[in-house]
Amino acid sequence: MLTTVTSRHFAVRLFFALLLTAGLSWSSHTAQATIPAQLTDREFWQLFLRTSEADGFFEDENYVSNELGYERTMQRLQDTVPPGGVFLGVGPEQNFHYIAALKPSIAFIIDIRRQNAIEHLMYKALFELSDDRGAFLARLFSRQKPDGLDASSDADALFSAFATERPQKQLFTETLAAIEQVLLERHQFPLDERDRAAVAKVLTAFYDAGPELMYVFRGTAEKHPTYRQMMTVKDAAGRNWSYLATAEAFEFIREKQRRNLIVPVVGDFAGMKALRAVGDYLRENGGRVDVLYTSNVEPYLFVAGTWKAFYENLLALPVTESATVIRSFFGSTVRECAALRPTIRAPVIGSMGSLLDAYRKGAITSQCDLVTLSR
C-alpha cells in the first residue's frame, strides 16, 4: 500500500514537473524581445557602428532645419500616433520636436553626413550638461544665461532674454571642453580628430550667429527661418510644439539622451546598410517603425535616380500597420509638380502602407506621386 501511494505521489509530482517545464518552454518560445529602457554606452556606440555607413556628401550646411511649418502637423500626429513606438528621422534639431510630442521608446536619426551625427552627439552632451532650458541655450550659444528665467518661462521669454546677450569666447572654450569630457571620458566614445573638429565647427556656428542661426544654401543669399523663429513659432491654436516650448518637453528629450535612446546614424536612405541595419536591430528587439520623418530627402533621391533603392529599404523595415511618413517639399517639387500645388517647406503626412503598396504596384514614378499621397 505504501508503495502504491508513493508511486502515485511520484506520478503526480512528475506530471506537474513536466507541466511546469512545458510551461516554461512555451513561455520562452512566445516571449517577445522589447526595446531596452536604456542602452549602455558600449551598446550605444556599437549600435552606431553597426548601423552607420561611410561619410557622404550634402551640398548645404544645415546646422539647423529650415522647416518653419512643422507646427501645422503636430496636433494631427499626436492624435494618431501612440507613444512608445519607434521614430526614424533625418537632419538636425527638428527631430526633437517630433520626439517630444510623440514620445517614442527609441529614435534613430539617419543622415548622409557624419557631421550631422556628430552634431547630435554635441546635442547629447549639452542635454546631459544642462539642468534646464536656460542653461542649455547658454551653452549652445556660448552666452551668459540671463537672469529671471525659470522652469515656467516660455520659448518667447527664453529667446527674448538671450537676444541681447553677446557671445563670450571663454564660455565657448569651457563648453567645448565640457562636451569633449562628456563624450570622450564619461561615455568613452572613441571620437577621432576629425570628429572633434566637427564638434568645434558646429559649436562655432552657434557661437557666431546665436539664436539667429539659419540654414545655409551654399553660394546663395537665400534667407531661411532663424533658430529663434523655429523654436518660438505657434500653431493656429496658439500652441508652441518645439522641444524648447516647455520644461516637460525639454526634460523628455534630456532623459532620452541620458538613456542613450536617441541614436545618430550615418547613412544614405538609398544606401545598402543603414536603414536595413536599423531594421535588423528592431526585429531583434521587438520594435516596429511607426513614424518615418524624411524631410525633403525623397525629392533628392528622385533627382539622383536612387529612389527605388530607398523604397526597397523601406520594404525591409518592420513597420506598424498605421505607420506614418512625414515629408517636406521644396523647389524641385514646385517646378516638377506645379499643377498639384504642393505644400512647400511645411511638413505633410502620409501613410507608409499606402506608399509601399503604391510602390509595389508600380504606381510611384516621380516625386509628384508623393504629393498626391500626402496631406
Res 58: pLDDT: 78
Cell 494631427 -> residue: 76
Q: How much is the pLDDT for 56?
A: 86
- Would you state the pLDDT for residue 27? 36
pLDDT at residue 220 in the model: 58
pLDDT at 93: 98
The model's pTM is 0.90
The sheet carrying 348-351 orders its strands as 262-266, 106-111, 86-89, 289-295, 319-327, 348-351
The region, left, alpha or beta by phi > 0 then psi within -120 to 50, assigned to residue 146 is beta
pLDDT of residue 221: 61
pLDDT at 5: 41
pLDDT given at position 217: 55
Report the pLDDT value the prediction gives residue 30, as an integer from 0 to 100. Answer: 36
Grid coordinates of 164: 541681447
pLDDT value of position 28: 35
Residues of the chain with pLDDT below 50 are: 1-12, 14-31
